Amino acid sequence: MHKFLKRVFILPLLCVAQNSLLAQEVYVSELKDIIYWLDSTDGLVNNRILDIIEGKDQSLNLLIKSESEDFSYFQPRFAKIDQNGKISVNELLRGGGQLSKTLFMSDLRNLTPLKDDKFLIAGTAFSNDIPGLYEEVINVKGETDPFALSINFKPIYNGSYVSLKNGAVAAVKTIQSKTEGLDVFNMWSIFSTTESYDMMDKQFKIASVYSEFNVDLKKDENENLFVLGYRYTTPEYDTYHPILYKTDQNGTVIWSKELPAEVNPQNLQVEIDKSGNVLIVNGYGSEQLQTSFSSIYIFNNDGDSLSYIYLEQMRAAGVLAMSTGNYMVYGSSLKSISTTFKKALVNRAKTILLSPDFELINEDEMCANDAPDFILPSYSYIVPPSSDFLNAIELSNGRVACVGRVYMPIHTDVESIRFSSVSNRSLIVFTDPNGGFGNQLEK
């Protein structure tokens, strides 16, 4: 439990690139393990952190999805924050001015590091219902490289990217075509150099007779690629399950695994540990059924099955393979919490730490002892906040940074909170190597 909460107000910052003022209210717990902030730039009041990369100075580079109040429109945002909660960069990315409400994005994935302290950001943009692949390179100040910007309106959907040792970028993108009048989606491996990342130096179709849509991409120490996607099993595209391919850099499929799924997956992620083992996470949650659960499939690098884990009360977003050999599963659980008038169903951001043998070491979740719940008025005023962890990285100081969002009232004072609207705030939680945060004895 955090007995004190330090509120840091960052004065409005002049954003020269957009000629607008940005103001953030940043909240930092006394233990400096929970940080979240409100940002309403251009009315995009709903923010969630999708990806995180630690900088050379231990600052955190963040890819944020910034959405309108009704979630009908969003733009990518790049932010830079130190581990004490001081924001030094906060830029909405507009695709060189091309992203607007008439050219909106529907998908956003990872923040890919390039050489020379640059990053690649990509998504799917739509104009008049026509999809286009949006790719943008920015520097650590959030400034767009005008010569490394592409919005290509072909039937190509956002892919997943990894940087290779030779300075190239490998990507897997989903390309739409037609076969006998039917839409078919196939995944392609594409390799390009960072100097001309939008140029397809090599491209290989991952052969399949099914329609498949890419979700995630990782590499092992030998820079083989592990491509995770959905395989659709009905012409209506209403039923699908996970499919994993291991390929080399010539596009040759080394092996593939088709995984069972009790229901259509919600969260899919692939992770490679330091031994080269492959972990596939499938997280699911249903507010209607008031349940959440996750499956983790573990294979060795040759595709042989090693283990299977089923986790109750956990909608996993992914798993982090740590340098200690442990695994941290991150996501959220569904909780029914009593308020003055009724019970409320909320998400609580959660971590589960597993040993190298996949035995439980520790689990922790955000609760009434943590900010923001602890500093807000009684639940008689509000519905309790919801939170989710969407990504996580191991930091150079041994801690783990879990990022995502917390859904809570915009106005938090007693006089205003009862009538306040709510929004998603960017959230960072630092855990110790055992996965704990806050005062464990009081949880």
User: Concatenated DSSP letters for 61-72?
Assistant: EEEEEEE-TTSS
pLDDT at 59: 96
| φ, ψ for residue 195, nearest 5 deg | -70, -30
Question: What is the predicted pLDDT for the residue at 16?
Answer: 27
pLDDT at 61: 97
Tens digits of per-residue pLDDT, 138-166? 999 999 887 666 666 667 776 788 988 88
Flag the least confident range among 190-194, 275-279, 298-302, 305-309: 190-194
Give residue-wise pLDDT tens across range 404-429: 999 988 887 777 777 788 899 999 99
Among residues 394, 305, 422, which one has the least CA distance to residue 60? 394
pLDDT of residue 168: 83
Question: pLDDT confidence of 11, banded at 50, 70, 90?
Answer: very low
Task: Give backbone dihedrals phi and psi of 144, rounded to 5 degrees, phi first.
Answer: -80, 135
Q: How do residues 210-253 score in pLDDT, each as one tens digit?
A: 788 888 999 999 999 999 988 887 777 788 889 999 998 877 89
* 430 in Cβ contact with 401 (< 8 Å): yes
* Whole-number Å distance between alpha carbons of 245 and 217: 10
Q: Any idea which residue has 């699908």 for tokens?
A: 240
Banded model confidence at residue 359, pLDDT cuts 50, 70, 90: very high
pTM of the model: 0.89
Average pLDDT over residues 331-338: 87
**Mean pLDDT in the chain?**
82
414: enclosing H helix or E strand:
helix 414-417
Please determine, for residue 182, whether its predicted confidence score (pLDDT) is greater than 80.
no
Neighbours of 254 (CB within 10 A): 14
> Residue 234 has what pLDDT?
77
Q: Which is more confident, 41 or 8?
A: 41
CA distance 67 to 101: 11
Among candidate residues 326, 325, 327, 257, the one with its CA nearest the CA of residue 294? 327
**Residue 12 has what pLDDT?**
31
Instruction: Return the H-helix or E-strand segment holding 415.
Output: helix 414-417
CA 84 – CA 90 distance, rounded (Å) = 16
